[in-house]
Structure 1
Amino acid sequence: MPYEPPTHTVERSLRATTGAKVIAGVDEVGRGAWAGPVTVCAAITGLRRPPAGLTDSKLLTLKRRTELEVELRAWVTSYALGHASPEEIDTLGMTAALRLAAVRALETLPVRPEAVILDGKHDYLGTPWRVRTVIKGDQSCVAVAAASVLAKVQRDKMMAELGVDHADFGFADNAGYPSPVHKAALAERGPTPHHRLSWAYLDALPQWRHLKKVRSWVDGSAPEIEGQLGFDF
């Protein structure tokens, strides 16, 4: 399906309105997975013409996404990945885990960005970062699209490596997201050390429900409810 290529419109706007010259695009992958980390990529691209075909990683075929990731690693000015582990997700909740992963990525960059373009409508970074959120930024903004592809391909590789010792779960194919193979393995074998144990999928597994972790309320606020997608056998 044809799609409009991403542009530097947001970057140019930020430069004009804030004076920022070093701008990072930020995107995440793994938010809805049942296993594995949530991964955030921060990419600095400048205003150069991007590789042909760049767009949101979800719109690309596996073959093209893999090829493009190689091109992007050589093309971007710099990029860095940050991860929050399943244990950190269980302890902190997804919003705080996303912030943790994003800060890890941003602080690993060789130059601290003066502004950040964050995919989506919710600013999970907050102060002291200067953030502009962009809905579907991974389709419209060059730096965010680059971050989208880099994050997706590299997290998928991580999940394939984790799956070597847990072949029944199909992590190389499902990247820790719910799938028939993943659900069947969970029902038979229970969660691996790479699973998020505070999520609702465990409610549908009576034999493993005792492993579920419940986060404490913090400052009087109710904990987030993660893993809303149940088994639906």
Structure 2
Amino acid sequence: MAYEPPTHTVERSLRATTGAKIIAGVDEVGRGAWAGPVTVCAAVTGLRRPPAGLTDSKLIPPQRRTELAGALENWVTSHAIGHASPEEIDELGMTAALRLAAVRALGGLPVQPDAVILDGKHDYLGGPWRVRTVIKGDQSCVAVAAASVIAKVHRDALMAELGLEPVCEPFGFGDNAGYPSPVHKTALRELGPTPYHRLSWAFLDALPQWRHLKKVRIPAEAAELESGGQLGFDF
């Protein structure tokens, strides 16, 4: 299926209405995973024509996505990656963990942006940045699409590396990147969580033999059960 390529429309609008000159696209990956960090990429692209085939990372076949990420890393003006660990997700909740990862990514840029385009409808970042949220920005905005691809390839590689550790081998992280899958569910039921699992998430409720390991979410986040934390745990 062909998709409309992303454009610089939002970037041009921000330049015209706010005077912003350096604009970063920000996107995350790993929000719905059961294991591993949540990862955010901040990418500054300017208004140049992007490499061919750029769109939301989820719509690009894995091999092409890896190739495109390599091209993008050489093409973007600058980019940086930020993570929030499973322990930080358990302690802070997902919204605060996302912000932490995004702040780390933005802090890693050589020059701080004047404005940020954030994928989605919720501004989990806030000040001091001028933030524009764009639903499906990873399909429509060049900078966000670039951030989406780089973040996805970076986190997939990180999870594949973790998957080589003996404690993680049965979980298939190289294939599922920490997301629920039959292999992942079977290993979790039989072996219990690894040090890389998010122990505050609801999937442990379906595992009586491991339920005692569950961490209690702080009250401020107790009502915010992320989709990955509450769905798909019907073992």
Contact 1:204 1:230 (C-alpha < 8 Å) held by counterparts: no
1:205 corresponds to which residue?
207
Post-superposition, which runs of at least 4 consecutive aligned residues in structure 1 deviate over 4 A? none
Query: What is the identity, as a one-letter code, of the residue corresponding to 1:180?
Result: P
Cα shift at 1:215: 2.1
Give the Cα–Cα distance (whole angstroms) in 2 for the partners of residues 151 and 92 of structure 1.
21
1:187 corresponds to which residue?
189
Query: What is the identity, as a one-letter code, of the residue corresponding to 1:100?
Result: L
Give the Cα–Cα distance (whole angstroms) in 2 for the partners of residues 66 and 118 of structure 1.
22
TM-score under structure 1 length normalisation: 0.97
Give the Cα–Cα distance (whole angstroms) in 2 for the partners of residues 216 and 74 of structure 1.
41
Query: What is the identity, as a one-letter code, of the residue corresponding to 2:83?
Result: H
TM-score under structure 2 length normalisation: 0.97
Contact 1:41 1:102 (C-alpha < 8 Å) held by counterparts: yes
Cα shift at 1:175: 0.2
Give the Cα–Cα distance (whole angstroms) in 2 for the partners of residues 167 and 107 of structure 1.
33
The within-5 A match list for 1:71-150 is 71-150=71-150
Cα shift at 1:223: 4.5
2:231 corresponds to which residue?
229
Query: What is the identity, as a one-letter code, of the residue corresponding to 1:187?
Result: R
Unaligned stretches of 5+ residues in structure 2: none
1:7 corresponds to which residue?
7
Query: What is the identity, as a one-letter code, of the residue corresponding to 2:55?
Result: T
Contact 1:215 1:223 (C-alpha < 8 Å) held by counterparts: no
Percent of aligned pairs with the same amino acid: 82
Cα shift at 1:231: 2.2
Cα shift at 1:128: 1.0
Query: What is the identity, as a one-letter code, of the residue corresponding to 2:187?
Result: A
Give the Cα–Cα distance (whole angstroms) in 1 for the partners of residues 217 and 62 of structure 2.
36
Contact 1:118 1:134 (C-alpha < 8 Å) held by counterparts: yes
Give the Cα–Cα distance (whole angstroms) in 1 for the partners of residues 142 and 184 of structure 2.
34
Contact 2:91 2:217 (C-alpha < 8 Å) held by counterparts: yes
Query: What is the identity, as a one-letter code, of the residue corresponding to 1:43?
Result: A
Cα shift at 1:196: 0.1
- Cα RMSD for the two superposed structures: 0.9
Give the Cα–Cα distance (whole angstroms) in 2 for the partners of residues 158 and 143 of structure 1.
23
Query: What is the identity, as a one-letter code, of the residue corresponding to 1:193?
Result: P
Query: What is the identity, as a one-letter code, of the residue corresponding to 1:167?
Result: E
**Structure 2 residue 67 is the aligned partner of structure 1 residue 48:** no
Query: What is the identity, as a one-letter code, of the residue corresponding to 2:215?
Result: K
Query: What is the identity, as a one-letter code, of the residue corresponding to 2:26?
Result: V
What do residues 24-49 of structure 1 show as CA deviations (whole Å, max 9, x unaligned)? Answer: 00000000000000000000000000
Cα shift at 1:172: 0.3
What do residues 150-174 of structure 1 show as CA deviations (whole Å, max 9, x unaligned)? Answer: 0000000000011111110000000
Give the Cα–Cα distance (whole angstroms) in 1 for the partners of residues 222 and 159 of structure 2.
31
Cα shift at 1:68: 0.2
Contact 2:92 2:218 (C-alpha < 8 Å) held by counterparts: no
What do residues 114-162 of structure 1 show as CA deviations (whole Å, max 9, x unaligned)? Answer: 0000000000001111000000000000000000000000000000011
Give the Cα–Cα distance (whole angstroms) in 2 for the partners of residues 67 and 106 of structure 1.
24
Unaligned stretches of 5+ residues in structure 1: none
Contact 1:82 1:105 (C-alpha < 8 Å) held by counterparts: yes
